[in-house]
Amino acid sequence: MRNRFTERGYLSGYFCHLLPKLLVWCLLVAVHALFWAQTDTASMQFEQATLAMQEGRLKEAGEGFAAIVKQSPSFAEAHFNLGLVREEQGKYDEAIVSFRKALALKPHLHGANLFLGITEFRLNHLEKAHTAVAKETAGYPKDASAWMWLGVVCLAQDKPEDASEALDKAAKLKPDDGDILYHRGRAHLLVSKNSYARMFQVDPGSWRVHRVLAQANAEADRHMEAIAEYEAAIKLAPTQPGLHEEIGSEYRNANKIPEAEQAFRRELEIDPNNVLAKYKLGAIALEQGDGATGKELIEAALREKPGLIHADYNLGRAQMLLGEDAAAAEHLQRAATADTDPEVVEQAWYQLGTVYRRLHRMDEARNAMETFQKLKDEGAKRSQQSLENYRKTHPDVAEPPAPEPPPAPRNPQ
């Protein structure tokens, strides 16, 4: 039940934006219907009712379509359009009658089963909603909206696996649709949650349980708690690939550099092809001033997996340590303009200023340092704004929690 009410709460806002989509259906149906219409009067009535719906004059549109179906009771499209109007007016029982009448006349009328299902969903008739929308997907398998609504109904029925399957199909048809992406993400999140819950029940002492808990702590920046869970996992599965690389990352986040280095080396003993362990070990070598080892490891990792995060910055730093300033400048320029991490971009400009001075490119050095200072000032301004916002939203707190000091310039990974 929890999933259903969460989904319905979200969709209460979604229906506020349904009218434009209804209009699309109405206009498409109207175009076909005009060819069907036998008289100029019917054509004019259809045009007037369609225009009324397009302009949001639902009462007038409903009256127009009602008059048409009274005159021509076998006119399936008119029943469908009348159902769309009643749906938008919140007259769901009347809408269902109209949709069912349209389907009785034309069982494969595009959109009729979809909106019948949507209306049944609004009334919490989930089985009827599922049946109707499933018919729409069977008849029109390339209709992304139909697959999305099938997924929504499955979520409301507490069937996240079925919902994921339907929403995956919708996403393939419309990969950039925000509604589909939202529901798809929710469905897969529930599948993941249920899978982990089942795993805890089946084998509560498994190393996998400790790994999941460690990953959750890591994502919440609780690094010491993550380390403790990883240590428990490693105790149970000391040669499991990946565990030492993951605990090494947490050691590094906790500034336990010797432990991190040892963990990455152990990972490479277990799995010599672990690219991330190799790459992160190279980053540690750079922090320790060993440009040759750092460059060798980073380049080896990039040969196996091009495009690793912060690769240009790391290679630029390695080349600076080796005195390869011209090559370093090229990598740092790319990092400064293409990296997505603000801290890395800021540090890239700082390092560019240094390498430009070495190359006696003084104007570029000055511009790089000015850019670095500008980014640093902007970051300080944002921090101050966040502090002020905190004070406004927490007036009873004397002082906000002290933020961690910004890290000294270092080699990000």
CATH assignment of the domain containing 265 = 1.25.40.10
Which one of 272, 300, 328 terminates a domain?
272
- Token pair for 298: 């980073």
Question: Which of 168, 196, 224 is where one domain is finished?
Answer: 196
Q: Do 341 and 246 share a structural domain?
A: no
3-state DSSP call for residue 360?
Answer: coil
Is 322:295 a contact under the CB 8 Å cutoff? yes
As a whole number of angstroms, the distance between CA 47 and CA 34 comes to: 8
Residues 6 and 102 in one domain: yes
Average pLDDT taken over every residue of the chain:
86
Tell me how many domains the chain contains. Answer: 3
Rounded distance, CA 61 to CA 27, Å?
12
Q: Do 17 and 56 reside in the same domain of the chain?
A: yes
The verdict on 406 and 394 lying in the same domain is yes
Are 138 and 18 in a shared domain?
A: yes
Owning domain of residue 221: 203-272
Residues 6+ apart with CB under 8 A from 194: 160
Whether residue 167 sits in one domain with residue 260: no
Q: Which residues contact 1 (CB under 8 A, 6 or more apart)?
A: 158
Mean pLDDT over residues 248-257, rounded?
96
**pLDDT value for 339:** 92
What's residue 61's pLDDT? Answer: 87
Tell which of 171, 196, 221 closes a domain: 196
CB 100 within 8 A of CB 131: no
223 shares its domain with 99:
no
Q: Give CA–CA dist 303/49, Å, rounded.
A: 64
Residues 268 and 397 in one domain: no
Instruction: Give yes or no: residues 207 and 172 share one domain.
Output: no
Residues 412 and 346 in one domain: yes
- For the stretch 173-215, pLDDT in tens is 999 999 999 999 999 989 988 888 888 888 888 999 999 989 9
Shared domain check, 164 and 24: yes
pTM value > 0.85: no
222 & 135 share domain: no
Tokens at residue 232, please?
């428990």
- Judged by phi (left if over 0) then psi (alpha if -120 to 50, else beta), residue 307 lies in left
Per-residue pLDDT at 64 exceeds 90: no
Residue 358: closest CA among 323, 314, 330, 409: 323
Which position has the higher pLDDT, 77 or 252? 252
